[in-house]
């Protein structure tokens, strides 16, 4: 089958090794080297000025929820009742869907004979239909954007960003932020490092080019921080001395939540909740779900969940938010949790939709 996406090919390049504690820093600097911020961090000095909001369309209701299980299978769920619509045996790693491409889902998976695959599915009331498949050189691929252009991170010993047939080797990436402003498509990639991780800003405008490579200003953290997905500007979520901080790359704290987690907790995913000024964060290994207000509209909360969630240095799509129903879908490996955000800033538990439905990643289908 010929997939209706740009052909994806990996350009030959040397990958950079990445570990939980540090990232190899031997790379070619751009000609316009950024000025490194001062060693003193602003973390803890809270600035409640919210980021400039993006124009928000009217809340659109998703048509389905797609989950990738720990085994790689695909579960298609009803977004209202949580009932199982379809089950597809697969080797899924990551999922991508967007309101701009209704009834369409991209999935990356591994191949039993090596390498990986990019799969395109149509979604209908009756279930999933495979439209096409393209081979990938990477066994582990994380989707950033799609379908045109299709952008992904290929992860082996390092991370390579590729868009269509263009690619480049970059440092080990722990999280990403994608912003679309036609005709430009901007990618902000955060290095997986415990102190002063750098943000790589790349732009796709008929070609992939580097805009900047800038150090952040953060203290030495017990676990690397993450970018907040879907935020209107680059924001970083981190745990410092048991407090959860959301800060700018310069280190200015925009919001924080005291006694949110253990001092050695790791941020596993962070998501801007589109119709609010809130950010949802998942931390582990003792699983906690946090709700943080960026404007001090409520006190925020941290919910303790059963089980453990071990740290994955690679980007993970553990959160998805349905603004039409104020519902937060949370993939916690051994369980799929659904919470409703209340007007006063709490996350109330919805009924468990599918008992036994484990979930490594989740996305909404529009």
Residue pair 116/141 in contact (Cβ under 8 Å)? The answer is yes
Does any domain span residue 198? yes
Which pairing describes strands 74-77 and 336-341: parallel, antiparallel, or unpaired?
Answer: unpaired
Does any domain span residue 251? no
Does any domain span residue 224? no
Q: Which two tokens stand for residue 273?
A: 């909740």
Per-residue model confidence as pLDDT tens digits over 116-157: 999 999 999 999 999 999 999 899 999 999 988 999 999 977
Does any domain span residue 94? yes
- Average pLDDT across each block of 10 residues of the chain; the chain has 366 residues. List them in order: 38 25 32 31 45 53 96 95 93 95 96 92 96 93 93 89 88 95 91 96 92 94 97 97 96 95 96 94 97 95 95 96 95 93 93 70 97
Does any domain span residue 52? no
pLDDT confidence of residue 352: 55
Residue pair 360/68 in contact (Cβ under 8 Å)? The answer is yes
Residue pair 165/137 in contact (Cβ under 8 Å)? The answer is no
pLDDT confidence of residue 2: 37
Nearest to 172 by CA among 149, 142, 137, 148: 142
pLDDT confidence of residue 195: 94
Task: Print the domain residue range for 115.
Answer: 64-215+315-365
273 vs 280: CA distance, rounded Å: 7
204 vs 179: CA distance, rounded Å: 11
129 vs 106: CA distance, rounded Å: 12
152 vs 149: CA distance, rounded Å: 10
Nearest to 349 by CA among 321, 327, 319: 327
236 vs 234: CA distance, rounded Å: 7
* DSSP secondary structure of 6-29: ----PPP-PPPPB-SS-B----PP
69 vs 91: CA distance, rounded Å: 9
Nearest to 267 by CA among 218, 233, 232: 218
Residue pair 204/163 in contact (Cβ under 8 Å)? The answer is yes
pLDDT confidence of residue 165: 76
Does any domain span residue 228? no
Bridge partners of 176, per DSSP, are: 189
Does any domain span residue 227? no
Does any domain span residue 258? no
Nearest to 217 by CA among 32, 45, 53: 45
157 vs 19: CA distance, rounded Å: 9
Residue pair 8/137 in contact (Cβ under 8 Å)? The answer is no
Domains in the chain, number: 1
pLDDT confidence of residue 354: 53
């Amino acid at each position: 089958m010929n997939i209706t996406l740009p052909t994806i090919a990996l350009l030959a390049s040397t990958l950079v090794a990445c570990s939980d504690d540090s990232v190899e820093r031997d790379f070619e600097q751009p000609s316009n080297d950024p000025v490194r911020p001062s060693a003193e961090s602003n973390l803890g000095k809270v600035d409640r000025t919210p980021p400039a909001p993006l124009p928000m369309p009217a809340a659109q209701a998703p048509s389905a929820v797609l989950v990738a299980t720990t085994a790689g299978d695909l579960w298609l769920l009803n977004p209202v009742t949580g009932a199982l619509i379809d089950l597809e045996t697969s080797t899924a790693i990551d999922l991508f869907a967007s309101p701009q491409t209704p009834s369409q889902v991209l999935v990356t998976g591994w191949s039993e004979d090596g390498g990986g695959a990019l799969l395109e599915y149509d979604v209908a009331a009756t279930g999933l239909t495979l439209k096409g498949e393209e081979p990938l050189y990477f066994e582990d691929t994380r989707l950033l954007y799609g379908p045109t252009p299709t952008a992904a991170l290929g992860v082996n010993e390092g991370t390579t960003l590729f868009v269509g047939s263009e690619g480049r080797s970059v440092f080990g990436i722990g999280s990403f932020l994608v912003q679309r402003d036609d005709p430009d498509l901007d990618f902000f990639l955060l290095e997986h490092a415990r102190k002063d991780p750098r943000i790589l800003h790349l732009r796709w405008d008929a070609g992939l080019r580097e805009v900047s490579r800038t150090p952040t200003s953060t203290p030495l953290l017990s676990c690397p921080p993450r970018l907040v997905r879907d935020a209107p500007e680059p924001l970083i979520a981190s745990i410092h001395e048991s407090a959860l901080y959301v800060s700018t790359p310069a280190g200015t704290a925009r919001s924080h939540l005291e006694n949110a987690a253990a001092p050695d907790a790791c941020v596993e995913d962070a998501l801007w909740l589109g119709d609010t000024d809130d950010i949802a964060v998942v931390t582990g290994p003792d699983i906690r779900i946090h709700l943080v207000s960026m404007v001090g509209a409520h006190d925020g909360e941290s919910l303790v969940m059963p089980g453990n969630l071990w740290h994955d240095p690679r980007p993970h799509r553990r959160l998805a938010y349905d603004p039409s129903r104020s519902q937060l879908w949370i993939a916690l490996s051994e369980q799929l949790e659904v919470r409703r955000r209340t007007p006063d800033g709490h996350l109330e538990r919805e009924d468990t939709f599918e008992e036994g439905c484990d979930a490594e990643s989740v996305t909404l289908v529009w």
